[in-house]
Structure 1
Amino acid sequence: MCYIAILENYSLFCSGIKSVLEEAGECKIVYEAKTITDFMNKLKVEKPDVIIFDIIHCLDDGISTIKKIRRKTSKTPILLVLSTDYSDFFEEYISLGVNGFVFNDASREKLIKAIKAVKNGDDHFPPRVWQLLKKYLRTKKVVASYEDKRMLTNREITILKLFCKGYTYKEIGVKLNISPRTVETHKKNIQTKINARSTAEMIEFAYQNKLH
């Protein structure tokens, strides 16, 4: 059983998520809140496995709210519900420690899959996220030089390419016959070598250096 906390100021939407999760029988809603203040107070008492935060019905882009949640809990996975209209913020959401995105038109199966992924310690970013992020990143400056690129091993480049395609730690591990923990180690090494602070910056490096 996965215990879920929902931050959502649009009651109808929240009811929809609740019914979907309860019908699936694999998740339990421990609490829901309409305001960040109420949510933070409840977070002091209940410790959910996953936090679902609806960005679409948020009064702003959600950046300040995510920062507040992360100051309180750095480990509880955050799953954002959003639309393609927020693609300019994808990089910042990821850099703030968001663990996954679910688009508002996703099926019940995709929502459940995303919840399971982040609960198990994987990131969940659909391929569409990287497609939209790629368009955004291509308008920015190159973040690393060719000399930096040559520092990566063949295995690291392979793993970097798979992250660009939206694969999770587990999926990359299966594909390369290595453990998810080994994949995580490779990712940390890649980020250290190219001086990337987040997954988004790592993906940006890949696209700017034609390693995707």
Structure 2
Amino acid sequence: MCKVAILDKFVLFAAGIQSILDKSEGCEVIVQAVDCNDLFKQLKNGAPDVIIFDVIHGENSGMKQIKKIRRAYSEIPVLLILSQNYSDCFEEYIRLGVKGFVFNDATGDDLVKAIKRLHAGGEFFRKKVWDIFKTSLQKRKYSKKKVENLTEREVAVLKLFSSGLTYKEIGARLSISPRTVESHKRNILSKLKINSTADMVRYAFHHNILS
């Protein structure tokens, strides 16, 4: 059972999220808070596995609240509910350690899938997140540099991750197993001294290796 905390300024919207999770299998809402102080007070009674934060109804794009949460509970993955209007903040959210985005037009199934993905130790960023993210990165100018130490197969895996494909999709594209894809990703992260898929996307565009 995945224990969930909901941070939403408006109780009505939080109740809607809780209703979706109550009908799902494997998720239990243990905290419903209106601000960080309320959240931290309730978390003293027990920590959740995932924190859902409704950025749309937060203040100043939710940056201040996210920083507070990450400082106090860095081990708990944070899932944001937002809209494409926050695209300018995507990179900063990811830099702060947010593990997933769910857009306000997503389905209840998408929300549950995202929560379970984070609970399992993964990330949840749909392809359109990477599309928006990459468009933002393309507007910046970077010099082309050689990709050192990566094998030809690792470069191929890096490119496909940067296109928003999943482990299974990359495996099918390269005729290898998802487990092998995971192994290649670990090697890429280690060689480039980076930590996440978001870092891989950033690296790929900074070094123009997708061109």
Q: Report the equivalent of 1:207.
A: 205
Shift of 1:174: 7.7
Trace 1:22-41 onto structure 2 (pairs within 5 A).
22-41=22-41
Distance verdict in 2 for CA 1:139–1:151, change over 3 Å: same
What are the superposed Cα offsets for residues 15-46 of structure 1, whole Å, 9 maximum, x if unpaired? 11010110113211001100111112222331
Distance verdict in 2 for CA 1:45–1:184, change over 3 Å: farther
Distance verdict in 2 for CA 1:178–1:110, change over 3 Å: closer
CA distance in 2, matches of 1:109, 1:61: 25
3-state DSSP of counterpart to 1:88 = helix
CA distance in 1, matches of 2:110, 2:197: 22
Q: Report the equivalent of 1:189.
A: 190
1:102 to 2:102 alignment = yes
Q: Report the equivalent of 2:84.
A: 84
Shift of 1:139: 1.5
Distance verdict in 2 for CA 1:174–1:138, change over 3 Å: same
3-state DSSP of counterpart to 2:30 = strand
CA distance in 2, matches of 1:122, 1:82: 19
- Which residue identity is paired with 2:82? L
CA distance in 2, matches of 1:137, 1:190: 22
Q: Report the equivalent of 1:134.
A: 134
Shift of 1:184: 4.8
CA distance in 2, matches of 1:184, 1:5: 30
- Which residue identity is paired with 2:190? N
The answer as to whether partners of 1:4 and 1:30 remain within 8 angstroms in 2 is yes
Distance verdict in 2 for CA 1:44–1:183, change over 3 Å: farther
Shift of 1:118: 0.8
Number of residue pairs matched by the alignment:
207
**CA-atom RMSD in angstroms:** 2.3
Q: Report the equivalent of 2:74.
A: 74
The answer as to whether partners of 1:173 and 1:183 remain within 8 angstroms in 2 is no
Compare 15-24 and 154-163 and name the one that shifted more: 154-163
Distance verdict in 2 for CA 1:161–1:14, change over 3 Å: same
Compare 119-128 and 39-48 and name the one that shifted more: 39-48
1:164 to 2:162 alignment = yes
Runs of 4+ that moved beyond 6 A: none
The answer as to whether partners of 2:167 and 2:178 remain within 8 angstroms in 1 is no
Aligned-residue sequence identity (percent) comes to 43
TM-score (norm 2): 0.87
3-state DSSP of counterpart to 1:21 = helix
- Which residue identity is paired with 1:47? A
Compare 150-159 and 78-87 and name the one that shifted more: 150-159
Distance verdict in 2 for CA 1:173–1:48, change over 3 Å: farther
- Which residue identity is paired with 2:136? Y
Q: Report the equivalent of 2:125.
A: 125
Q: Report the equivalent of 2:12.
A: 12
- Which residue identity is paired with 1:136? S
The answer as to whether partners of 1:6 and 1:52 remain within 8 angstroms in 2 is yes
Structure 1: gaps (5+ residues): none
- Which residue identity is paired with 1:158? A
CA distance in 2, matches of 1:136, 1:170: 27
